[in-house]
Each structure stands twice: as structure tokens, then as C-alpha cells.
């Protein structure tokens, strides 16, 4: 029997993920808080309400932050019954995830936090990195779905571990974007062709998707998200909260947060997170 999936949150990531699941033969229906342009939602069947979305075997959340997840769950949860699984693939605060998992488990409802990295490109290609936090039993229930969406799926630990791993992922991404921004700026001012530098560094220790993909956005001065600067800042603040709880001082995490705050204060909040480059290049 076909597994039914509701995809709650049809944003930059939710839309391509819903399409990949549809193409793989799942019975998928989407729900979005605000009305979507027909063009954006094209080809994704819709639920009329959250209550209807709550009827799917797997309720996949792809929402902006913990606030949105908490608000949706509040409306949603009374309509869930034992055997269903809530699969939260957005980037949220792991403190909440653990609480959600415990509360849902009491009603026999599964919980998997399985945020992803790889952007809309990775989502459309089904090649995302998926970092999951769940009990082994809950994880097993959604594993085929996760392998449809991801090129690499790893259960990092129990509930919350996926969200924690994703926050750590974002720490690396934010700091790597700053590193690549400094590098591209230096290459340009040194009179090198930055595209040839990118090509020459390929395969060496400096190489990364951030160098090739986000670096190209910097070179072209074309900062169409991808992921917005405001989203990256939200994620880095979650990392800061996590570090503070452990009494840990992470100097480049702190300064990168300041750089994103500066970028957003200058009106760059809706730019791709690679827009950090504009602080250096003017």
C-alpha cells in the first residue's frame, strides 16, 4: 500500500521535496499557511486544512523555525492518532524537538527530526544530506522516505540529535561562507580571475560546495536565495544558544553572527546567505 505523506510548508525547500516524493510514487498532499501562487505550487495536490493534512501516515513539516513548528503542532496534534509519524525536516531548536518526541510518544505517535543540507538544488535532485534524530523504531518507519529525498541519510542519535547536527552543519556553512567571501574578494583584488581560482582549487583542501556554488553567486553578485541571510542568522543563533548552554566560547561563530546582523541592518536580510560577501566587496 502506498504511504500517504502530507508536506506542511511549501517554501523554497518544501516544494521541490514534495515533487520528488510525488515522482517516487508516494501519495503526497501539501499544505501552506499562506496561499501559494499557482506557478509555485504547480503539480502538488493540496489539503484544504491542517486537519486534513493530519490524516496522512507521515506528516512532514518543512517550516521556517521552532515557532512555526510549535504553532502548527498545537493545532495539529489533537487530530493525530497512534501509528502516525511526525517528520520534522526544518531547522529547529533541539530542546523543543525532544519535548515534542516525548509528548507524542505517550500517544503512540512517532517523531523523527531529520533536517537536511544541500539547498533547493539538492532537494530537487533528491541528493540532500539528511541528519536524523529519532528512536530506531521511528527512524525505520520513515527511512525509505528519507532515502528518496537524500543522497546520504544518517541517524545521528535520539530525538533532537538531527536538529543539533543541523545546527552544527549551519555553523560550518556560515563560517565557510565568510571564508569563501574573504578568498573571492582577495582573488579579485589581486587581479586573478576568481572563476579560474575556483577551478584550480577544485579537489584540494579548500574545495567545497560553498566555494563552487555560493562562491559563484559572489562572483556574479547575484544573491538569489538559496537560503536567506535571515534564516542563516536564525540557525547561527541556535548554535550560539547550544554553545552557551555548554559554557563554550566559539569566536568565529560569534563574529559571523555579527556579520549577518550587519548585513541584515544594511537591508540584506532577503539576500542569499552568500550575500555576506557584500560586506567585504562594498
The set of catalytic residues is 166
In the range 143-182, which residues lie near a copy of itself by CB under 8 A?
A: 151-152, 154-157, 161-162, 164-165, 168-173, 175-176, 178-180, 182
262 lies in the binding site for a copy of itself (CB under 8 A): no
**Helices 251-265 + 161-189 axis angle, to 10:** 70
Q: SS3 of 103, please?
A: helix
263 lies in the binding site for a copy of itself (CB under 8 A): no
Using CA atoms, how far apart are residues 183 and 55, in angstroms rounded to an integer?
50
Nearer to a copy of itself, 10 or 131 (CB): 131
Q: SS3 of 261, please?
A: helix
| Segment interacting with a copy of itself, rule: CB under 8 A, options 11-19, 63-71, 141-149, 191-199 | 191-199
Figure out which of the listed residues 34, 137, 246, 267 binds a copy of itself, where binding follows CB under 8 A.
246
Bridge pairing between strands 150-157 and 128-133: parallel
| Segment interacting with a copy of itself, rule: CB under 8 A, options 4-12, 97-105, 123-131, 136-144 | 123-131
Instruction: Tally Cβ neighbours within 10 Å of residue 220.
Output: 10
Structural contact between residues 235 and 177, judged by C-beta atoms closer than 8 angstroms: no
* Least distance between a copy of itself and beta carbon 178 (Å): 5
At residue 85, what are phi and psi to the nearest 5 degrees? -130, 130
103 lies in the binding site for a copy of itself (CB under 8 A): no
CA within 13 Å, CB half, 126: 13
Figure out which of the listed residues 59, 218, 239, 271 binds a copy of itself, where binding follows CB under 8 A.
239
* Least distance between a copy of itself and beta carbon 223 (Å): 16
Amino acid at each position: 500500500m502506498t504511504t500517504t505523506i502530507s508536506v506542511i510548508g511549501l517554501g523554497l525547500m518544501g516544494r521541490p521535496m514534495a515533487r520528488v516524493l510525488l515522482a517516487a510514487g508516494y501519495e503526497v498532499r501539501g499544505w501552506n499557511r499562506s496561499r501559494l501562487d499557482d506557478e509555485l505550487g504547480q503539480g502538488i495536490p493540496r489539503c484544504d486544512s491542517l486537519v486534513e493534512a493530519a490524516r496522512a501516515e507521515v506528516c512532514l513539516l518543512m517550516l521556517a523555525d521552532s515557532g512555526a513548528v510549535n504553532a502548527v503542532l498545537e493545532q495539529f496534534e489533537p487530530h493525530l492518532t497512534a501509528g502516525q509519524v511526525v517528520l520534522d525536516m526544518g531547522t529547529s531548536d533541539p530542546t523543543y524537538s525532544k519535548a515534542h518526541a516525548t509528548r507524542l510518544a505517550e500517544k503512540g505517535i512517532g517523531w523523527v527530526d531529520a533536517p537536511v543540507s544541500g539547498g533547493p538544488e539538492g532537494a530537487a535532485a533528491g541528493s540532500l544530506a539528511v541528519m536524523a534524530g529519532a528512536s530506531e523504531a521511528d527512524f525505520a518507519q520513515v527511512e525509505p522516505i528519507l532515502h528518496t529525498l537524500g543522497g546520504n541519510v544518517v541517524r545521528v542519535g535520539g530525538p533532537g540529535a538531527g536538529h543539533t547536527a543541523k545546527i552544527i552543519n549551519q555553523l560550518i556553512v556560515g563560517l565557510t561562507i565568510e571564508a569563501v567571501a574573504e578568498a573571492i574578494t582577495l582573488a579579485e583584488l589581486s587581479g586573478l580571475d576568481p572563476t579560474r581560482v575556483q577551478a584550480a582549487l577544485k579537489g584540494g583542501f579548500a574545495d567545497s560546495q560553498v566555494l563552487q556554488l555560493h562562491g559563484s553567486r559572489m562572483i556574479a553578485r547575484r544573491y538569489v536565495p538559496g537560503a536567506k541571510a535571515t534564516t542563516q542568522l536564525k540557525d547561527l543563533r541556535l548554535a550560539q544558544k547550544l554553545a552557551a548552554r555548554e559554557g563554550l566560547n566559539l569566536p568565529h561563530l560569534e563574529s559571523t553572527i555579527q556579520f549577518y546582523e550587519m548585513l541584515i541592518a544594511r537591508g540584506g536580510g532577503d539576500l542569499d546567505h552568500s550575500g555576506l560577501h557584500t560586506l567585504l566587496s562594498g
